[in-house]
A and B are shown apart, each in its own frame.
Chain A
Amino acid sequence: ILNVEQSPQSLHVQEGDSTNFTCSFPSSNFYALHWYRWETAKSPEALFVMTLNGDEKKKGRISATLNTKEGYSYLYIKGSQPEDSATYLCAPSGGSYIPTFGRGTSLIVHP
């Protein structure tokens, strides 16, 4: 089981603001990292899976980068909208192939 840290724990932004969160994990024995979005009263929804150092993924206004050498991933949201309000979870996995989930960053976007 990996030690996964996500920061900040929570974030309040205004509509239109751009924001970013961090996921830190042990750089050794890394296989893949998943980002999920978990809206209240819904199921976690997969956003990205990344495997290679330097990977960048983009989905609409949301993008993510991966640095496996130093053990971190950033998730960026450009021009936040109220519908982006959710908890964002990262889940790196090592040799066991089982992802270890961080506690998440709770994002609230105020209109």
Chain B
Amino acid sequence: EAGVTQSPTHLIKTRGQQATLRCSPISGHTSVYWYQQALGLGLQFLLWYDEGEERNRGNFPPRFSGRQFPNYSSELNVNALELEDSALYLCASSFRTTGTSTDTQYFGPGTRLTVL
């Protein structure tokens, strides 16, 4: 069974530009989560999509946005990039069988975003 995939592996942008990160969940998973891991910090929750809808959002500015497509893949868009957006961005997917926080998340390898 194929795992969660993310592209690109690395992305280099300059301040003010926009970045688009992509994630394909495990087949059959309807939920996709996005996390940011900045240097020295833990995984910070960004966004949760399920069945095409944004279900929850972390404490990030509106220039962090995304969407989920009908095939459950997802995009994370970061507008007006700032230096502090440099981080590892992880995507995870899960079933939404119980609708509770016991759903195990399966993580992708991440996209390393560098903002110069």
Contacts and interface: CB of A to CB of B under 8 A. Distances in A.
Contacts of B43: 44, 89, 91, 101
A51 interface: yes
Contacts, number: 62
Contacts of B108: 43
30 contacts: A1-B45, A1-B58, A1-B59, A4-B42, A31-B101, A32-B101, A32-B102, A34-B104, A34-B105, A42-B109, A43-B90, A43-B106, A44-B43, A44-B92, A44-B107, A46-B104, A46-B105, A46-B106, A89-B42, A91-B43, A94-B101, A96-B56, A97-B56, A97-B100, A97-B101, A98-B33, A99-B101, A102-B42, A103-B41, A104-B42
Nearest to A44: B107
Interface in A1-60: 1, 4, 31-32, 34, 36, 42-46, 49, 51
B3 interface: yes
A41 to B, nearest CB: 8
Interface of A is mostly: loop
Contacts of B44: 101
B4 interface: yes
B89 interface: no
A101 B42 contact: yes
A94 B102 CA distance: 11
A100 interface: yes
Contacts of B90: 43-44
A101 B102 CA distance: 14
Interface string B73-100: 0000000000000000010100000011
B49 interface: no
A106 interface: no
B107 A43 contact: yes
